[in-house]
Amino acid sequence: MWGEVTGPQDSASQAQQADPSGEPDDHPQTAGAGAEAGPPGTPAGPGTPSDDAAATTEAAPDTPPDDEQPKRKHRSFWRELPILIVVAVVLAVLIKTFAVQAFWIPSGSMENTLEINDRVLVNKIVYHTRPIHRGDIVVFNGDGSWDPGTTPVAGNVFQQFAAGFASMFGFGRSGDILIKRVIGIPGDDVACCNAAGQMTVNGVALSESSYLYPDAAPSTQRFNITVPPGRLWVMGDNRFLSDDSRDHQGDPGGGTIPESAVIGRAFVIIWPPSRWRILPIPSTFTQPALNGSPAAAGPPAPATATASLATASTDATQLPARLEPSGQALPLALGLTGAVPVTWLQRRIRLRRAARRRAARPRR
């Protein structure tokens, strides 16, 4: 019966019609694998990497391996080193030119206040904030007043910086630098000596025992001078060995020096350690009467009376306290101290800006 002709024979006939060659399909797994992979763009099967894994693979190059981090930090230090050096040198020149400078004392004209080989710090800012006071120990350039040459002119800020930079590395001429104590300021009447053998300023006697060399006389020569405007009368503390205003009365200014020639005020001894001390203004210069109208000083004492004040030979060799800069170690050390935080700060700012730029980039 027709209805009974079914089963395996019909299935074989259908397979033969689908494959006329009659050969069986020997590659069922290959066909299956191709079906699973599918053409490009089809949804991924169970064995295909996900989109998140692909994104992780693409982002991996942005994060260097851990073993490369120390090398990058090492390279960063060497990139920062030239910046550190440049900042340190610039700060050193600025400090030395406009703020503080160390000087070496080569002679005994300021003994015992300053001894040979002492190192002093000179404040260059103080006279931008207050006038020069009587009793200050000042460092000044003697060119044009006590020594041949042109009176020094400070120049503008850039010229001063250029001069300071040149002197830092041994170029240029620093001038004839000296150190003395201010006795008279503009308008003062300075005289020596009264009947008691004392120096007078505006007729007021000075008690100089706290800073004069032991047993030294205030002066072995008489003088009476009114300090011109813009100038100073200066003297050494060891009057026997000091070449000061008394010995330059025939020079321009009558022995006085211009205020513009003052470099700064010596305010502390920093070397040797056993000599460390502040250099204050002696109390005799703080007498209120010194600031009054110049009083009549009276006639100078007779020459015999003045000569009797000398307790040492008057023909002793007079030595100016010509100063030498005390090397560049101090300004460079101060410059390096200031350069470290400055360099660290600029590096922090640069890294923060870079982090902000990275955060602002759109994510892929």
Within its chain, how far is the Cα of 137 from the centroid? 23
- Which pLDDT score is estimated for 22? 46
Contacts of 211 (CB under 8 A, 6+ apart): 113, 181, 237, 282
What is the four-CA torsion angle of 157, 163, 164, 166, rounded to 10 degrees? Answer: 150
For the record, the structure tokens of 339 come out as 């350069």
- Which pLDDT score is estimated for 49? 46
Q: How far apart are the first and last CA of the chain?
A: 71
Question: Above 80 in pLDDT, residue 17?
Answer: no
Question: Above 80 in pLDDT, residue 343?
Answer: no
- Which pLDDT score is estimated for 352? 85
Specify the residue for token string 């190059």: 61
Sign of the CA dihedral running 150, 152, 157, 160: positive
Report the predicted TM-score, pTM, of the whole model to 2 decimal places.
0.67
* Rounded Cα–Cα distance for residues 131 and 232 (Å): 12
- Which pLDDT score is estimated for 338? 72
- Which pLDDT score is estimated for 166? 76
List beta partners, residue 266.
Answer: 122
Of these residues, 96, 107, 109, 145, which one is catalytic? 109
pLDDT top residue among 310 and 164: 164
Question: Above 50 in pLDDT, residue 313?
Answer: no
What burial class does residue 72 get, using C-beta atoms within 10 Å of its C-beta: 0-12 exposed, 13-18 middle, 19+ buried? exposed
Is there a contact between 75 and 69 (Cβ–Cβ < 8 Å)?
no
Is there a contact between 199 and 174 (Cβ–Cβ < 8 Å)?
no
pLDDT band at 23 (very low <50, low <70, confident <90, very high): very low
Task: Locate the domains of the chain by residue range.
Answer: 75-99+329-358, 105-327
- Which pLDDT score is estimated for 174? 67
Any catalytic annotation for residue 96? Answer: no
pLDDT top residue among 336 and 98: 98
Of these residues, 180, 219, 242, 245, which one is catalytic? 180
At 280-311, the pLDDT tens digits run 999 999 999 998 755 444 444 443 333 333 33
At 62-111, the pLDDT tens digits run 555 544 444 444 456 677 778 788 888 888 888 888 999 999 999 999 99
SS3 75: helix
pLDDT (mean) for 238-265: 91
Any catalytic annotation for residue 71? Answer: no
On whether the 105-327 domain is CATH 3.30.310.80, my answer is: no
Specify the residue for token string 């010194």: 290
At 110-162, the pLDDT tens digits run 999 999 999 999 999 999 999 999 999 999 998 888 877 666 666 777 877 78
Specify the residue for token string 């022995």: 255
At 173-225, the pLDDT tens digits run 667 889 999 999 999 999 999 999 999 999 999 999 999 999 888 998 899 99
- Which pLDDT score is estimated for 60? 46
Tell which phi-psi region holds residue 246, choosing left (phi > 0), alpha (psi between -120 and 50) or beta.
alpha
Sign of the CA dihedral running 238, 175, 148, 225: negative
* Rounded Cα–Cα distance for residues 93 and 262 (Å): 19
Cα–Cα distances in angstroms (integers) from residue 258 to residues 127, 183, 229, 254, in the given order: 14, 14, 9, 11
| Lowest mean pLDDT across 142-146, 343-347, 348-352 | 343-347
At 262-284, the pLDDT tens digits run 999 999 999 999 999 999 999 99
